[in-house]
């Protein structure tokens, strides 16, 4: 038990410091907008944890961030910047929704098939960047970012031009009852997806700690040429990592589509993929840290809904705070690395 | 039908769309040549587009607006350099943070100051004037549209192209930037202040991204929209990647993107859904990135050797 507490303390120390510093900068920004930062933060807190319903709302918002955070962890730990999680999430979400409304299958099986489809879709969406990264060293940051834009536009096209219900909003027909992820409580849209998210995080911890291929990922990420020298087929690892990362990101979209909206609509999961990337960066690709950061981001998101109603502050202030958290953390990581080299540089 | 799509108006429209991508691309070549992978072009462009609009809104002068834009982008580029060069943080992480910051800050300030969301359109925003080249109509007739009638930065971008070529291939600064980027150890051995060079190239990057952003909101359009840079910074980044940061190739690459964008817009009139049309430039960029990166790869080593020989000969 003590060991785990120590582990937690280590994983959380830097993010917490960075978070507090960024909240301070956020406070300055809030004062400039002529609001009282203490009041704004209290409202944020109330919006996120004020009642059991709000807590469920926070967990609901955190679910896709946790899963896409896990996808980002896997890639970052292996030294690959999959910034295209947002796009993979959109494509995965659409694939799951499509399987949900276009086919009739028995319950449970329908859900499983739809979720698998979302994973395959996410995997396909990252296939070209992965192939070209592994084979020709094409920069994966640029290619995955550009594919985000394409994913959002293509899913919008499919939703509005191909599958739109006549006279309805910009959305597809609803997913069949058999494919939906069941809600956990009657008072919230919080669903089984949250449980899956926890599973994904646990699986990620075990994968890195206990399996050979998890070790190969870490080796490739921390020292590419050493890993290659040590007999690890780094290109194969790279390909495998990118495809799995895309699949997990797709799953995040599938869960959002089947659990929350129960259909696909334009702009259906704004920024969840990016929040996942941010969470993983913040936690230095530690899966548990990522999950905790995701919960924090979920709280910010759910709290900011109330903040927008009760104050003059837009929810994008949260994004500014997030940006500063990343900046502070980015320095922290480096200083730690330099220390561990025994002062060579 | 083909003449309805491809005509003089298309060419001039393509040049207009190319300009912002190319201007940001020039900025990116500086950081790229000095060995920094700079993802923050997008954010620098966006903040400048916003500050340019704010500047004109309150002063009524488009020149002050442009200056505000450039200064804001340079401030972000200094922040980038501070973290990446001085504090040695990961450039991709810092760049992403700057993009997130630019997006969040512009939207929240817009809401706080102007109490609107989405777009900021106002008669107080003074756009940059279109400039007619004298005698262009008399000499070229209807073809004059290709070379005349643009906002100032379209013309200036061609001049910048020449200037940047001169900086990179004829001046000591350009050579130093390349050496720092290609062989940092050798640069240090030569007594080059690598930190200073990286700061200079970051600031120059901010300068050009600032121009790109100001052009976007005051020249290309006369308004500010949430996230209006819409991936142009990343397109420039792709162009830099496959042009190997060579300014002329960069320009040609950006021209291809601008052209595909404009062509797609034209096809909208022929019943192709707008979402697919909006996706076209990104897809073309991706295809180019994939096809050309592989072909360009072996040349990197050769160029390094050439620059090193030049540096040693000095």
pLDDT digits (tens, 9 = 90+) for A78-97: 989 999 999 999 999 999 99
Contact B94 A278 (CB under 8 A): no
The answer for B230, left when phi > 0, alpha when psi is -120 to 50, beta otherwise, is: left
Cα–Cα distance measured from residue B174 to residue B166, given in angstroms and rounded to the nearest whole number:
8
Both tokens of B82, joined, read 């501070």
Per mean pLDDT, which range of A40-54, A215-229, B54-68 is the poorest? A215-229
Contact B234 A324 (CB under 8 A): no
Contact B297 A322 (CB under 8 A): no
- Among chain A residues, the shortest Cα distance to B272 is held by A161
Strand partners, B225: B119
B interface toward A at CB cutoff 8 Å? 37, 39, 79, 83, 87-90, 92-94, 96-98, 100-101, 103-105, 107-108, 111-112, 117, 230-231, 234-235, 237-238, 241, 273, 275-276, 278-279, 282-283, 285-286, 289-290, 293-294, 297
Collect all residues of chain B within an 8 Å Cβ-Cβ radius of residue A334: 87-90
A170 pLDDT higher than 90: no
Collect all residues of chain B within an 8 Å Cβ-Cβ radius of residue A319: 100-101, 103-104, 107-108
**Per-residue model confidence (pLDDT) at position B127:** 86
Q: What is the average pLDDT score of chain A?
A: 88
pLDDT tens digits along A256-280: 999 998 999 887 778 899 999 989 9
Residue ranges of chain B whose pLDDT lies below 50 = none
Please name the residues in contact with A153: beta carbons below 8 A apart, sequence gap of 6 or more: B275, B276, B278, B279, B282
Would the ipTM clear 0.95, i.e. be above it?
no
Cα–Cα distance measured from residue A277 to residue A56, given in angstroms and rounded to the nearest whole number:
23
Collect all residues of chain A within an 8 Å Cβ-Cβ radius of residue B234: 142, 145-146
Helix (H) or strand (E) holding A302: helix A287-310
Mutate to test the interface with B, among A84, A132, A142 (most CBs of B within 10 A): A142
pLDDT tens digits along B131-183: 887 777 777 777 777 777 888 899 999 999 999 999 999 999 999 999 999 98
Collect all residues of chain B within an 8 Å Cβ-Cβ radius of residue A132: 290, 293-294
Of A147, A323, A334, the CB nearest to B97: A323
Token pair 């979209």 is found at A253
- Among chain B residues, the shortest Cα distance to A274 is held by B100
Residue pair A301/A222 in contact by the 8 Å Cβ criterion: no
Token pair 């999430």 is found at A89
Of A142, A157, A323, the CB nearest to B237: A142
A8 pLDDT higher than 80: no
Which residue from A266, A273, A268 is spatially nearest to A157, judged by alpha carbons?
A266
DSSP string, A88-116: HHHHHHHHHHHHHHH----TTHHHHHHHH
Confidence band of A334 (pLDDT split at 50, 70, 90): low
Mutate to test the interface with B, among A270, A316, A333 (most CBs of B within 10 A): A316
Collect all residues of chain A within an 8 Å Cβ-Cβ radius of residue B241: 138-139, 142
Token pair 């990581």 is found at A333
**How many pairs of residues across A and B have Cβ atoms under 8 Å apart?**
150
**Beta-strand pair B119-120/B224-225:** antiparallel
Contact A153 B279 (CB under 8 A): yes
Please name the residues in contact with A206: beta carbons below 8 A apart, sequence gap of 6 or more: none
Mutate to test the interface with B, among A222, A307, A323, A338 (most CBs of B within 10 A): A323
**Per-residue model confidence (pLDDT) at position B299:** 53
Both tokens of B94, joined, read 């810092």
Q: Å from B290 to nearest chain A CA?
A: 7
Average pLDDT over residues A136-149: 91
Largest CA distance in chain B: 62
Contact A147 B282 (CB under 8 A): yes
Per mean pLDDT, which range of A72-76, A186-190, B50-54 is the poorest? A186-190
**Per-residue model confidence (pLDDT) at position A343:** 41
User: How many residues does this entry show for chain A?
Assistant: 345
A318 pLDDT higher than 70: yes
- Among chain A residues, the shortest Cα distance to B110 is held by A314
Mutate to test the interface with A, among B96, B118, B245, B257 (most CBs of A within 10 A): B96
Contact A320 B104 (CB under 8 A): yes
Collect all residues of chain A within an 8 Å Cβ-Cβ radius of residue B103: 316, 319
């Amino acid at each position: 038990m003590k060991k785990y507490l120590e582990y937690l303390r280590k994983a959380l120390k830097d993010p917490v410091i960075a978070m507090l510093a960024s909240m301070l900068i956020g406070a300055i920004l809030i004062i400039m907008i002529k609001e009282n930062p203490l009041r704004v933060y209290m409202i944020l807190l109330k919006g996120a944890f004020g009642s059991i319903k709000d807590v469920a709302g926070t967990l609901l918002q955190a679910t896709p961030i946790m899963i896409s955070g896990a996808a980002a962890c896997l890639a970052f730990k292996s030294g690959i910047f999959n910034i295209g999680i947002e796009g993979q999430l959109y494509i995965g979400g659409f694939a799951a929704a499509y399987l949900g409304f276009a086919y009739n299958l028995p319950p449970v099986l329908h859900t499983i098939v739809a979720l698998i489809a979302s994973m395959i879709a996410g995997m396909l969406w990252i296939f070209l960047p992965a192939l070209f990264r592994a084979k020709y060293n094409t920069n994966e940051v640029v290619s995955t970012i550009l594919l985000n834009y394409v994913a959002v536009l293509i899913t919008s096209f499919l939703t509005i031009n191909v599958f739109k219900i006549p006279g309805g909003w910009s959305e597809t027909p609803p997913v069949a009852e058999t494919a939906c992820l069941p809600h956990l409580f009657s008072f919230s849209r919080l669903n089984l997806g949250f449980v899956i998210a926890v599973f994904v995080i646990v699986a990620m911890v075990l994968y890195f700690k206990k399996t050979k291929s998890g070790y190969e990922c870490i080796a490739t990420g921390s020292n590419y040429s050493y890993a290659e020298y040590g007999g690890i087929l780094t290109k194969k690892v790279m390909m495998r990592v990118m495809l799995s990362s895309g699949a997990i990101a797709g799953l995040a979209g599938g869960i959002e589509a089947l659990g929350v909206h129960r259909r696909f609509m334009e702009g259906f999961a704004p920024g969840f993929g990016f929040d996942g990337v941010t969470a993983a960066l913040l936690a230095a690709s530690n899966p548990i840290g990522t999950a905790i950061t995701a919960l924090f981001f979920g709280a910010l998101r759910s709290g900011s809904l109330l903040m927008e109603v009760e104050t003059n502050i837009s929810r994008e202030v949260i994004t500014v705070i997030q940006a500063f958290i990343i900046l502070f953390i980015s320095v922290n990581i480096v200083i730690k690395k330099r220390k561990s080299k025994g002062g060579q540089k | 039908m083909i003449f309805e799509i491809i005509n003089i108006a298309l060419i001039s429209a393509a040049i207009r769309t190319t300009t912002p991508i190319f201007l940001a691309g020039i900025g990116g070549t500086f950081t790229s040549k000095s060995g920094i992978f700079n993802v923050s072009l997008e954010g620098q462009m966006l903040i400048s587009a916003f500050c340019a609009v704010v500047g004109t809104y309150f002063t009524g002068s488009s020149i002050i607006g442009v200056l505000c834009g450039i200064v804001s982008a340079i401030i972000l580029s200094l922040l980038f350099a501070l973290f990446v060069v001085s504090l040695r943080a990961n450039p991709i992480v810092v760049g992403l943070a700057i993009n997130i910051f630019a997006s969040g800050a512009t939207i929240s300030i817009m809401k706080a100051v102007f109490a609107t969301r989405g777009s900021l359109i106002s008669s107080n925003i003074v756009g940059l004037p279109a400039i007619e080249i004298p005698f262009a109509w008399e000499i070229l007739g209807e073809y004059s549209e290709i070379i005349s009638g643009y906002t100032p930065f379209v013309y200036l971008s061609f001049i910048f192209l020449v200037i940047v070529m001169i900086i990179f291939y004829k001046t000591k600064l350009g050579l130093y930037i390349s050496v720092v980027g290609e062989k940092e150890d050798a640069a240090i051995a030569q007594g080059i202040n690598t930190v200073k060079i990286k700061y200079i190239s970051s600031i120059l990057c901010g300068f050009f991204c600032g121009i790109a952003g100001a052009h976007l909101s005051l020249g290309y359009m006369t308004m500010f929209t949430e996230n209006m840079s819409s991936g142009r910074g990343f397109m420039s980044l792709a162009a830099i990647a496959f042009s190997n940061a060579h300014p002329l190739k960069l320009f040609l690459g950006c021209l291809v993107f601008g052209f595909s964008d404009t062509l797609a817009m034209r096809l909208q009139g022929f019943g192709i859904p707008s979402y697919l049309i909006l996706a076209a430039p990104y897809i073309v960029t991706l295809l180019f990135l994939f096809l050309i990166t592989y072909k360009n790869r072996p040349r990197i080593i050769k160029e390094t050797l050439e620059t090193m020989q030049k540096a040693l000969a000095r």
